[in-house]
Structures are given as C-alpha cells and as structure tokens.
Amino acid sequence: MTSAEMPSNPAGKRQVHLAAHFPGVNSTTVWADPRSRSQIDFTSFEQLARTAERGLFDFFFLAEGLRLREHKGRIHDLDVVGRPESITVLNALAGVTDRLGLAATVNATFNEPYETARRFAALDHLSAGRAAWNVVTSSDAFTGENFRRGGFLDRADRYTRAAEFVDVARQVWDAGAGRPLRHDGRHFTVEGPHGVARPPQGHPVVIQAGDSDEGREFAARAADVIFTRHGTLEAGRAFSADVKGRLARYGRARDDLKIMPGATCVLGDSAAEAQERAAAIRRQQVSPQNALLALEQVWGVDLSGYDPDGPLPDIDPVPDSALSQGRTHRGDVFALAEKWRALSLEKGLSIRQTVIETTGRQSFVGTPDAVAAEIDTFVQAGAADGFILVPHLTPGGLDDFVDRVVPLLQERGVFRSAYAGTTLRSHLGLAVPEVLHT
Ligand SMILES: Cc1cc2nc3c(=O)[nH]c(=O)nc-3n(C[C@H](O)[C@H](O)[C@H](O)COP(=O)(O)O)c2cc1C
C-alpha cells in the first residue's frame, strides 16, 4: 500500500508514528530508581516490546555500539556490559510479538553487505515482514581496532561506503527473487546469491541516524526513516524541510521518508507535578559524578579536581583528545565549551546545572492531554512524522505513555486503534519496492 492509498481519517490529519527505544549505551537510564531492571536479560527486552505492541507502536529499536567506550583508560561507567547482539535479540522477540516492527543498528563501516543482507533477510522472514536496519557509519579507529582496520576509512568516505553497502544489500535481497547478482564496486565485490528468498517486505526498512550533510544526502537517497536529534518544533521543521527537500533528486515523494526524532516523555496529573518529576529525573541522570564526566568528554582533560557545584573551567578544551574513546564525533569542542560557558555565566549555573541544561533535553513534559496535543502539533506542523521514545526506566518506562497518552492520540484521530497490516512497511505506509531488473 502506498501513502496515497492509505485510508485517510475524517479530519484528514497526518498520522503519528511511534517507536520504542531500548537503551544500550546511555546516560538516560535512572539506575538508582528501584524500578530499574536489567538491560541484558531477555525478560526486559520482552517486556518493553510487549508494551510497545500493546501501544500499537510501529517498531522497537535497538541502538548498538561495537566496542565498549572508555573514559580515562577504564570502561565508560554508563555503558551496558553484557548485552546480547541486537539481531539475535530481535529474532527472539519475533517469536513473542506479532505485529511490532523490529529494528537493529548495524554499522556499515565495519560489516559486509552480503552477510548483513542475509541476516536481515532471515529476521524479515522469521518475523513475517517486520525487520528494520538502522545504518550507522561511525568510523573511529578505536572501534576499528576490533576489526583490524584501525582508522582505515576517512570520515568523508563513510557515506560512500554506506551508500554502496545498502545498494549491494538491496541487490542481495532482490537476488532472492531470481534477479542476477553481480556487483563490482569501489568498496565491495559480490558475485553470487545466498539462496534466501526475497524478504516479505522486499527490502527490510532502512533507518538512518546521522546529521552531517553527507548523512542527510545518504538518507534522502536510501533511507525510509531518519532517527534524528532535531526534536524541537523549530529545529524539526528546518530539518524536515531540508531532508525532504532533497528527495525529489532521487525521484522520491515527501512521504517516502519518515522523520522520527528521539524523544522523552514525563507525565504528571498537573503541569506542575510533571515539571517537578522531570527536574528530579534530570538530577538523577546527571549526578555530580556524571556532570564531571560529561564535561571531561567535551574538554578532553581530567577535571576531577573541579567542584560539580562550582563554576565551569576557564581552561581551553583539547581537541582530538584520547581521554574518552569510542564516543560519537563531537564536532567543534571550542565552540561547544564556549556555548556552555556563556550559558553558565548568563544564568549563573554550576557545572552540574549547566550539564543538566545542555544535555538530554526532555521533549514532552506535562499532563497526558498536553503531551498528546503537543505530539499532534509537531506532526501536523511537519516538524516530525512521529517519535522514537526513549524511556528513562527499563523495562517499564513506557507503561504510562501507552496507558495514558496513546488513547488520547487515538481520540484525536491521529493514531491507529488497531494495526491495519502485518508488516512494518504497512505500519509506516511504505510500499514494497519492486525487484530491480538489470
Ligand atoms: C539519533 C542518533 C542515533 C545514533 N545511534 C547510533 C548507534 O546506535 N550506534 C552507532 O554506532 N552510531 C549511532 N549514531 C551515530 C551515527 O551513525 C553517525 O556515525 C554519527 O552521527 C556521525 O554521522 P554524521 O557525521 O552524519 O552525523 C547515532 C546518531 C544519531 C544522530
């Protein structure tokens, strides 16, 4: 079914898409809360997935890093140690869910397209058409050390490799329908099919998460969904306009690409109660120790002598420092440090308060009514097609949202009251791609 054929609701409103994010590497989880449970036991994955399916979400999302990050020579305190590999987890979840899409993050820099395509084809078959692949491109040498290719790929080449990677994967999937398979490109040579039938979705859904100009271009060309950090109304609109504006170059329509910012939600019976809860959660997420850690990640030097309740350091940050290894590329650390300093001066904030203000913005804080109205506003305004919800508690952190906000979105006529189809493509209103014949 194409978007044009989607049943329109009486008011002709745009529909909201929702996904559940299961944390991995994170500073979101409030570990001190007695309701916090394991992030590695299957029962936790199962519980959050079942909640998402009860809430009729489009998909369940697993982020993944390929190496535990390090800080000051030790394993980063906020990384989850012992988590099973994502596609394996999703294959198990396919057996305990029915309709929920299942998305795994697989890096295009450190894997091979032939094998990756085979694994996603298997997930798509085992789940009867619910697989999605979040294509990420981190290329740092620290991660590369596990692949005996330390730093082998220039930052600029990450997306040429990723684009070729996805093209080859699609050819491999189409080979399952009898299309001949032969690719001889800059990064990959693939000669013969592996014998897995074409996936039920034709091509599993492709998600992109990355923000550079090359990343956006790659998404416009090859992705079905973008997972983005542009979560305010203004930034979301600008981002959507930018990436959706690139689609025509590739013969694609605006609805062929869904923009889904990561988002958090804190509910209360009154606006004041929700605000209080939200502030308490931020204080728990940014402990004095975590505040210094966040600062050290920007400054790139040991700041353990600083008082988290005192002012920001007046020393300059060190770019390309090896103090923190394996984190996402942070861009211009001088500009970031300057921005944090200016904010702290302007508002009289301590180190900890500055980190609370600048990291981990809370998206939706309010009564269920207010949150449903705000989500609706975002989607109708074209600032997003929906949200990937990141709970601060695992695995029960989306219970309240599903019980209290989803029914209000349904009342507003902007969210399904039952799954219309069985595949993730049908939840997203995306057609099954035709087999390309050469
Ligand atoms: C919202 C979001 C989520 C991401 N999740 C992951 C992840 O789970 N694993 C990973 O290795 N990289 C992840 N990344 C990193 C991106 O794939 C990419 O490597 C990084 O953002 C740099 O790309 P860029 O230069 O296009 O921004 C994520 C990025 C964003 C914006």
Contacts of 139 (CB under 8 A, 6+ apart): 109, 151, 153, 154, 155, 157, 158
CA distance 272 to 290: 26
Asked if residue 111 has its Cβ within 6 Å of ligand 1, the reply is: no
CA distance 129 to 217: 27
pLDDT number for residue 8: 46
**Strand, helix or coil for residue 18:** strand
CA distance 2 to 432: 8
The one-digit pLDDT tens for each residue of the chain (438 residues) are 344 334 445 568 999 999 999 987 677 899 889 999 999 999 999 999 999 999 999 999 999 888 888 888 888 877 888 899 999 999 999 999 999 999 999 999 999 999 999 999 999 999 999 999 999 998 777 888 888 766 678 877 899 999 999 999 999 999 999 888 999 999 999 998 888 999 999 999 999 998 999 999 999 999 999 999 999 999 999 999 999 999 999 999 999 999 999 999 999 999 999 999 999 999 999 999 999 999 999 999 999 999 999 999 999 999 888 888 887 667 789 999 999 999 999 999 999 999 999 988 899 999 999 999 999 999 999 999 999 999 999 999 999 999 999 999 999 999 999 999 999 999 999 999 999 765
11, 121, 190, 373 from 344: Cα distances, Å: 46, 50, 54, 32
Tell me the whole-structure pTM to 2 decimals.
0.93
Q: What count of other Cβ atoms lies within 10 Å of the Cβ of residue 342?
A: 11
Q: Name the closest-CA residue to atom 17, ligand 1.
A: 136
Cβ atoms 360, 278 nearer than 8 A: no
Asked if residue 423 has its Cβ within 6 Å of ligand 1, the reply is: no
CA of 317 to the centre of ligand 1 (A): 23
CA distance 78 to 68: 10
Closest ligand 1 atom, residue 215 Cα: 26
CA of 138 to the centre of ligand 1 (A): 7
pLDDT number for residue 6: 45
**And the tokens for 254?**
């605006």
pLDDT number for residue 214: 94
For ligand 1, mutation pick of 66, 137, 159, 330 (most atoms within 8 Å of CB): 137
Q: Name the closest-CA residue to atom 25, ligand 1.
A: 212
In the numeric block, the tokens 């600083």 are attached to 306
Closest ligand 1 atom, residue 24 Cα: 8
pLDDT number for residue 36: 94
For ligand 1, mutation pick of 27, 85, 133, 138 (most atoms within 8 Å of CB): 138
Q: Name the closest-CA residue to atom 22, ligand 1.
A: 210
Asked if residue 360 has its Cβ within 6 Å of ligand 1, the reply is: no
Residue 228's nearest CA partner among 271, 266, 249, 257 is 257
CA of 98 to the centre of ligand 1 (A): 29
Q: Name the closest-CA residue to atom 19, ligand 1.
A: 138
